[in-house]
Amino acid sequence: MRLFGRLRFYNFKFVFNFDRWIKRHFTNAGMVVLGGWVAAAIFSADTRQSMAYQLFALLIALLIIAWLSSWLFRIRLKAQRFLPRFATVGESLTYQVRIYNHTLSWQRNLTLLEDVAQTPPSYQTFMHVREPLHQWRNRFDKYVGYPRWVWLMVLSKGAEIKERSIPALPPAKLPTVPSYLDITMEIMPLRRGYIHFDSLTFACPDPFGLFNALYTLPVPDKLLVLPKRYPVSPLRFAGSRKYQQGGINLAISVGDTQEFAALREYRPGDALHHIHWKSFAKLGEPVVKEFQDEFFVRYTLILDTFTEQSYGQIFEAAVSVAASLASAPRSHETLLNLMFVGAQTYTFTSGRGVTQTDQLLEILACVQACTDKPFETLFPLVLQHAPALSGAMCVFLAWDEAREKLVQDLENQGVPLLVLVLAAQVATPAVHTQIHFLQLDTLAQQLSQL
């Protein structure tokens, strides 16, 4: 049974590519003719009782002529995309494609198609992932699994891009001076992360309007799609300013240095990177920089990435919540740490001259679920920074003993908390803190009321 399932899975790619080839090469009229040809082939099995074989011969002749005529399609075009810097999941946007005609004749009846990179899922991913509409599928679709495979391919593609009919392209004034035309394309991002554009395809139908000849131009490009975000009130915690090792200079260049105060003579044990080399060169004796300590507000945003599935609505909702909190209004004097675990533990800081909010959103756009590590992996990273925190926001995928322990440890260190859990509340939490259990269907409303 398992062997049959693997064979079925590896045939999905052939079926998907064949279906894509049919839809790209045959026009709507061509699909009707193709369907009629298949029906005529079925009913013309007995030529004595049916005249369908005549229709079969006529339709196959039309399709062959249309296919052969596509070989005569020859054009010389070039194209360039003008993409925006960012897109956002679920928000359609437009961009421009400039098409250059290098021929001395008009180019008519062209349709522009985008080719976006798609990566087939692995067998393990296919077996463990459930599409959002899985519970409404019939028993046959659940058993075969092809709709789930198509959903994963669409998710890999990352966007729906409408094909665009191109007005007549005027001829080039000279072979070296091509004419051009700007075309507006519309794209609907379906997931966060990078969308990789491979090429542009120009389709031109045959004289019968049945079969498209395709001309493909390699035009690689990419567009970063940010997570969906919801309106959130300005961040406010009861915590005060905290001592920051590294001083205000940490907000400008993350490291262990502090705010510069004065120069003094070298003492044994001083770090070499604190030596002021210009003064050393003038005096001939080592001189080091002396620093002062600083106090300012630092919040942290803890994103829970620990889940069994690589794809999941709850995880994507958690990333959207984290992105909403990261982009919430806050004082320009406030630092915000983003902490999560991926291939390793990560912490990024924004505010006061270091990473800006846009860069945090770029990081969140590419964050992946952690499926091979326990939640406790996050503990050392969080607790190491706890003494310097004026407040912490936790976005959890579930509520269990490990997550409750992290919250309790932060409370014990006097860190004000805002805990958001994307799961149904099954019991009253044992800790005394502000915990909100968020529902996916009312996410925007609940976040606006925090």
Which tens digits make up the pLDDT trace of 43-75?
Answer: 877 666 677 778 888 999 999 999 998 888 888
Residue 31: per-residue pLDDT: 93
With CA atoms as reference, report the closest residue to 446 among 359, 317, 358, 306: 317
The 10s digit of each residue's pLDDT in 401-437 is: 899 899 999 988 888 888 999 875 555 555 555 788 8
Q: Please provide the size of the chain in residues.
A: 450
CA-to-CA distance for 266 and 276, rounded, in angstroms?
Answer: 10
Q: Are 131 and 153 in contact (CB under 8 A)?
A: no
Token pair in block for residue 38: 């298949």
- Residue 390 CA to residue 417 CA, distance in Å, equals 9
Q: Are strands 77-82 and 93-101 parallel, antiparallel or unpaired?
A: antiparallel
Count the helix, strand and coil residues of the chain and give each as a percent rounded to the nearest 5. 35, 30, 35
| Mean pLDDT score across all residues of the chain | 82
Per mean pLDDT, which of 42-46, 118-122, 161-165 is the most reliable? 161-165
Q: In the prediction, which pLDDT does 251 show?
A: 41
Domains of the chain from N-terminus onward: 2-226 (2.60.40.10), 259-292 (no CATH), 297-448 (3.40.50.410)
Tokens 């970063």 appear where? 224
Query: In which element (H, E) is residue 319 found?
Result: helix 313-326
Dihedral pair phi/psi, residue 154, rounded to 5°: -65, -40
Task: Report the pLDDT value the prediction gives residue 241, as an integer from 0 to 100.
Answer: 52
pTM for the predicted model, two decimal places: 0.80
End-to-end Cα, the chain, rounded Å:
51
Q: Interior CA angle at 330 toward 326 and 332, to 5°?
A: 110
- The predicted pLDDT at position 359 comes to 85
DSSP classification of residue 252: T
In this prediction, residue 442 carries a pLDDT of 86
Residue 196 CA: distances (Å) to CA of 35, 85, 106, 114, 220: 34, 14, 31, 11, 7
pLDDT score, position 258? 46
**Out of 113-122, 282-291, 333-342, 385-394, least confident range:** 282-291
User: Is the CA virtual torsion 57, 58, 59, 61 positive or negative?
Assistant: positive
Report yes or no: 199 and 294 within 8 Å, Cβ to Cβ: no
